[in-house]
Structure 1
Amino acid sequence: MPPKVDQAAILILDIGRNVSTSDEKGKKSFFEEAKECVARVIERKIMSQDKNLLGVMLLGSKKTQNNMAEQCDGAFRHIEFLAELQAPTWKMIRDFPEKPTKSRGDWMDALVVAADHFKNGLSQVKVNSKKILLMTNFMCPTCLDENDIEKILNGFTEEEFELDVIGPDIYDESLKSEDIQLARKFVETTNGETATFEYAMQSCLLFHKKRTVNPTPWNVDLSIGPNIKIPVSSYIRLRDEPAVKTWLKAVKDPVTLTASSTEGIMSHKMHINTENQEVVEPDSVIKGYHYGQQIIPFAECDKSLLYEPGEKSLSLYGFTDASNINWQCLSGDGLAYIFGRKGDNKAKLAIRCLIECLHEMSLVGIVRRVYNKGNAPKMFAILPVIDTNNYVCLSMIPLCYKEEIKYMAFPPTNLKRYACSKEQVDGFKELIKAMDLMKAYDDTYEGTEAFPIAETVSPSVQYVLDCIAFRALNPGKPLPEPRDDILTLFKIPPLVQKRSKEPIEKLKNLFTLTKVEAKTRDRKRTQQQVDADMNDQNLEIKPDNQSNDGDMPTIQLPVTKKSNTITKIGTIDPVNDYKLLISNGTPLIDLIPEMAKVIENIVDCSFDGTYTKALEAMKHLRQECVKADPAPYNNWLQKFKKELTDRQKDDVLSLINDRQLNFILKAENSSSTHENVDSTQSQLYENDTVPDATELTMDTEINDLFDEM
């Protein structure tokens, strides 16, 4: 079965002597405008990534290379195929002639050659639409008589060829050439189109367009309760997609600076054990999932534990008031429309009834969708869409889950100081009315609406595609800036800007705004503050009386005076700080938790593994608590040891036991509850394993049940 192609087109570009000169001074010639237009057409065809075929024919070429010239000697001259029907490539643009020739060709002969190529060059391809784009100024008249022209026109009609003429305005009454009238007849008979270069470049070829594809429906039954199932079809209305979905890596040819046709990149996937750098066979690999910082292995036998969403379905869970669905609740990357199944009139009638009921009662449906088996279920809101001109359907938009919604608290604005006067409110109403985008252009534009939905292109996507096209044709040059057509999308429409000028000036007078100046750092004031801080800390400059080398400057560093004003225990010398605070009259009950915290900080920040300073401070604290109250030390040590055990600090625990820094025993202080080490360890074990609140949280009946068992 031959392959099918939606469209095949042949571009006929006139490069003869008749298009070499410009009609007006300072303007481009017909050849230059036609060359830019053809390049733009090929570029758009390539970037749309469609599967249509394209051929380029040169009219008025120095060479004669076509099938009809080989069959008829002396006819169909100066017609050459730059590229026969094939997928569009960048080479077509690179092979364009830079200058027009001095030859001339017959445009009617070019149409016959193009028709012959469609008939004989596509014998193994089935084409739905055959199009010929002719770009000539018709300044070279055809040499064929009326009978031959009539036969050609009948052949075009039978083969269903479409002829489009781009360049001159063939409907201009001032142009009374017979060839232009003949071209007009061909366009009308074949249901073709015509446009000038300016209109084609600004309207049809201004931006890149997506490939036109036939929408594929997602067929499913809309389930309402256990008994009602309505056959429906869902179509994607809008979807956020990247500029280029997939990138193919290729090796760059150093000679042609293009992707090499003989070399490629071959990738090989393997699993390597990071511990011994050995290759692991795929059969020995167990897949896993990240859960925080931990990897959870997931073997084949664990698949039975997975949540199964079920088969493909669309289930209606219920209805809610339309006011409950705000824009904050909606998510996803697109919008879908739901219609009754094609060919099922009962389904269409049921969906229409549901839509009208939702619209009249201001309700929204909540549905659960499973796209197919194995996909996670998602929640959607279905809203009624009633368009009297086009269609009646349901729009389906994804809903956020609770953890996906972020609430932001703003201060109340219904305060007295935020109240606006009637003049201020009216001023904003005038501004909103003046900036109405539905009436953004005057009669000189085709439509009055600015930035219509689903018609406005993305500036970022257009710039990315422009850069790809530029890099394909200019491999060694830097990327250009965005063109003016893209930057225009960021500008305010001229009529809106004109209308809003007066309301904005009025609002400036109604609202007094105070300019907030950003505070800058004053270096002079900062230096003065530093000097004041040094004086407060009793710092002095120690002079250096020693003689140095004459080339070396003398550096004077601030030296801190010794002071007895210490307010807390530090980690540099905790024992001396403790003694100094005790001598100053600080209560022991306040110093014990502070000293304990310092010991914990020293242990946490110690990297040498000796912990000498922490053990000396711990020894001093134990001695002080033996003389006074041992309970604070014992309670702290119990918690401290438990933390060390949980953190696997066995080296610190062994040092504490070696230095005999364990609990204060009853033999050392009668107020202690610890008699020996064994009882202490057993008490610690009991405290760690049996919580005090266990008996309070467990029911007595449960305890009796365990006793009977």
Structure 2
Amino acid sequence: MARSKESLVFVLDVSPSMHPYLHHVSKATAAVLERKLFNHKNDEVGLVLFGMEETDNDLRREVGEAYEGIVSEPITLVDGELVTKLRALPRGCYAGDYVDAIVVATDMIFKKYGDGKKGNKRICLITDAQSPIKEPMEGMSMMEQVEKIAEKMEDHGVKFDAAILRMNEEKRESGSESTEILENLASRTHGEVTTVESPLCLFGALKPRTVTPTTLYRGDMEMTPGARIKVWVYKKAAQERVPSLKVYSDKAPQSDALATHVVKMDTDYKSSDDPTVSIPKAQRAKGYYYGQQLIPVTPDMELSLKFTADKGVKLLGFTEAANIPRHYYMKEPNLFVPEPGNRKASLAISALARALKQTNMVALVRCVWRQGQRNVVMGVLTPNLSFEDGIADSFYFNIVPFAEDIREFGFASFDDRPASQLPSKQQEEATDLLVQMLDLSPSDSVESLQPEKTSNPVLQRFYHFLYLKSLNPDALVPQLDETLKKVIEPDFSSEHIEKLQGLCSQFTLVNVQKTKNSTKFWKDRIEAAAKDDDAEAKPDVDTSGSGLSFDSFATRQVEEVGSLNPVQDFQTLLARRDSDEWVGKAIQGMKKIIIDLLDSSYKGNTYDKALTCLAALRSGCVMQEESKEFNDFFRVLADKCQGKRLSDFWDAVIQRKLTLISKGEVSDSDVTEEAALAFLTSRTVKEEPTTAEEAEEIDEMDALLGEAV
């Protein structure tokens, strides 16, 4: 029997006590075979039903007595016919003995595959363990009989799994003896006994097949140049994805039994100057864009650019566990275990793990899993202590990001918000009730949606659709099973709905009318007055049929910092997330507005607006960590104010204590806090005599602005 092939025998209890749950058992077992039909079509499956009115099994025919009420289906390649039988399980009439049923299933495997441990052979029992067990043979206790069965199963490499249904309170309090028998049998054969307390858990308890763990790495973990520990690395969890679709051709004649229906795809490169000319491979080269320039890279150069490293795991150091937040973990976790059978490696790993646990530390390691691997991963080892005999201490390994992998997002604090924008006590209590209501692990019941007992509804629906499509080419995509729907749709009771309504009542939405700020700049006042006159002369009615009106222009999306409401436009552009260019565009636009306000100032009439814009620019640059942009502009602005004309503005800047952004505010700033405070005092305004040309220019400006005003 090939290692990649599995033989599975379902042993199903159809006794009267199981009747309320047989439709769940039917769907769950059929779902397992539907997945095997797609992914493991060479697997073999058998079926044993106990608690039946009739009897049909080989042991009954051979022995002549016992093994009554047991019906068996031979072990064959998985096919749709067996799926159909599972979809319509019969109802039994008598209480069945699951020990006899296990013996029948074991006999089927022994006869099919003979002696030896080769291959993956598994028995899966589903029962509520409520039916009585027959007395064993004379001179033997029940546990001795189970030990004998387990010994034979172990000799033949048969694994035993069991799912015990406990879907009501009465059954949860009974059947302890049966549970002990099944757990003993499972432990001897390296199997697992799962207690199923809901139909959803049954889907997760039935594994499509036993996945044989394979090592990701076998070798040394280098502690120091002279100290190494032999370790094996396994994947702890790996996401199972929906299978990808393959291109299929139906052009081959149906009579051709050897047709593969494979579609071969060829790519042809054409010249941009002449699309009829093909470019041969020798004349093609790859390249990278460097700005607007395309840099060609030859295959030899591309090969030399690829980083390669020697296989190995190297310890870099230790740090406190709090320094590695949970959201830094990337990809799937792995498990570091000592080399099996290596006592020194087990002692070394155990000592290291327990020392890190006591000090609340983690280890930082550098890993290259294969020789010549083109990428190096950095990760942390978190101790995983074992408290069971025969299981060694180990480490969980999680990949952590480099600086280029981290994404930081700055959010404004609630500390400086007014009371009207902070949650009230009633709102906090309503959200507390929401958290308590959706608690998956309340103290008085079993945890819901446990990962090891929750099946992926997307995969189940996908494989069920393929099965239906194989029976009927015109089959439609089925609805998600009601049992699996509980994974994605919470089941709310009337009490829950009442609490949700209370939550909604605490967060009502109010339509707030935006009020326009009064303009301060004389030019803006003139433009606003002219628009008001036009609005009175021409009503806001769209007669062209184009859908344009004054209101549609007033509510347009902000694309630049305007002179009417520069601070509001600046903040709106910083808040936009549809492109990375808006932050730079907002900063440059605000700089231009400040310079324009100062250049067009008459006797300081624009200083207040310029100061407000400067303060907003500084606050925005701190939030976006653009300290260099602001500091460079602020130095230029200080040089510009070194004269009599803008001295009053610089005095206002000093009074407002607006200065350079320091390291205390933005970590990448090159200005210390002391230097930022000293910058204002060091920039004293020089009193320069007013020349005749300047006096004449000022007089002309006074006259011009006086006439305009």
Rg larger for: 1
TM-score by length of structure 2 reads 0.50
